[in-house]
Amino acid sequence: MNKGKVYLVGAGPGDPKLITVRGRECLELCDVVVYDRLASPRLLRHVKPGTEKIYVGKLPDRHTMKQEEINQLLVDLALQGKTVTRLKGGDPTIFGRVGEEAELLYDNGVEFEIVPGITSAIAVPAYAGIPVTHRDLASSLSIITGHESPDKLDRSIHWDKVTNATGTLIFLMGVAKIGYIADQLIKHGKPPQTPVALVRWGTRVEQQTIVGTLETIEAIVREANFQPPAVIVVGEVVLQREKLRWYENKPLFGMRILVTRARAQASELADQIESLGGEPCEFPVIETQEPSNAEAIGMLRTHLEQAESYSWVMFTSVNGVDYFFRWLQRFGIDIRRFHGARLAAVGPKTAEALRMRGLTFEELPVQFHAEGLLEQLDPHLKAGERVLLPRGDLAREVLPRELQSKGLEAVEIDVYETVLADTQDELALEWLREKRIHMITFTSSSTVTNLLELLRRRGIEDPAEHLAGIPIASIGPITSKTVIDAGLSVTVEPEHSTIDSLIDAIAAYRAAKANV
């Protein structure tokens, strides 16, 4: 059997987007990923299906696996012919013990590659608004371990040289020893008033920062019950935080928001949450697919072949547009055969989907739902006209019913089906169980019913009771009714039923809560 290869990858400080391009590539191609506590679990979404995941993380009071065992594990996996990615928090060469892992791989003739990562020593202070160097304040820095016992610290650190020979001091893994570290720095010449900052879980939604001086910081840490992991910054650069704290000032900072949209549509909402400082937790509970029933497909073809008979084609969703054109291509039907039909769209995203195909359409309604569309188009509708409605199988009956009441013929075709998603993120489930989600977003009635059903299937007997207390953002009144009917409460509902309005409403809620 051929030997495998091991990639020793720095995962970055916590924010999953701070991994390097090469690091992400290593995740995508590996057969096994071996990861620890400081690597973001969200990075595991980049591995291919079937990749084995082995957690070897360490907690301050407990080691899941000893370092020597981790070293041997990497060798054993590679000798089985597997491609292994060893995912380590921060940069693997800075207190990451990568040298020990690589040395044993070398001794066993295993090929390896070290992939640098962004170290928490510089990234975490930056996210707290603290540049580790500054032209006027610090022209050098030292990165020091603070994890050892005091006697080991004294043997490994020359306090007199460290204290006086550098500008900024960065201590990693030193929260429990903060009092001793501060005392030694004062003892060896640092002024007691020297600014100090501790940043916990930096670059993540849980980021917390406390600031003091060498003489006050131990008491501040104790009073706040400040726990590791954290980066300690000592030096005048800490004062820059007052002006430069950019990350913590973002509108959605501190919020982990569940996104329940279909995976193909989730990125728009997730990207906006992330750009505003929140952490999107993508948990698609619905999927769309083409109808599989032969009879239904036959009816689709029949209705689409009657293209010249329609006076209107009304689209109520982006999915409706996308699947409509898929079926035209499948059946070889030229869109120009609908030359006698006027197009109408519900919502700006649906309109954009038509615009991207070079099509024009009727003016958008003020309210982005079927009732608004009818109100807007009523003066243009004539009894006897034939209207084609390319929709999903769960579409509401309001639009065809109202069209028929006005004397028009409504031809409904199910161009796609909405089903319960069959693959789920275990991390998101864990966060839901532990109530570590700060808000749930629902963008349709089916996202509500499917989330509850999925939780039931995962052993939660009363999902509504379990979710009680978690704020809910609903995209509009129809979805909100489904939320309320399910026994839940709506916290946020935007003025308009769009993703942009939903994000604005969530940000306004967050701001109001912060000012209470």
Q: Which tokens sit at 112? A: 């390896």
Segment holding 99, helix H or strand E? helix 98-107
> What backbone torsions phi and psi does residue 113 show, to the nearest 5 degrees?
-140, 135
Helical ranges in 30-97 per DSSP H:
67-79
DSSP 11: -
Sheet holding 111-115, edge to edge: 52-55, 32-35, 83-88, 5-10, 111-115
Separation CA 485–CA 480 (nearest Å): 9
CA nearest 399: which of 410, 390, 407? 410
Strand duo 32-35 + 83-88: pairing: parallel
Among 3, 31, 58, 183, which one carries the catalytic annotation?
58
Residue 89 burial (10 A CB sphere; 0-12, 13-18, 19+): buried
Separation CA 158–CA 160 (nearest Å): 6
Among 82, 88, 91, 173, which one carries the catalytic annotation?
173
Among 5, 15, 36, 190, which one carries the catalytic annotation?
36
Give the chain's length.
516
CA nearest 359: which of 319, 323, 315? 315
Separation CA 440–CA 483 (nearest Å): 11
Separation CA 257–CA 499 (nearest Å): 14
Specify the amino acid at residue 100: E
How remote is the C-alpha of 373 from its chain's centroid? 34
Separation CA 221–CA 148 (nearest Å): 19
- Catalytic, 76? Answer no
Specify the amino acid at residue 365: P
- Cβ atoms < 10 Å from Cβ of 348: 15
- Catalytic, 414? Answer no
Cβ atoms of residues 249 and 259 within 8 Å: no
Q: Bin 349: left if φ > 0, else alpha if -120 < ψ < 50, else beta.
A: alpha
- Catalytic, 36? Answer yes
> What backbone torsions phi and psi does residue 384 show, to the nearest 5 degrees?
95, -15
Catalytic residues: 36, 58, 173
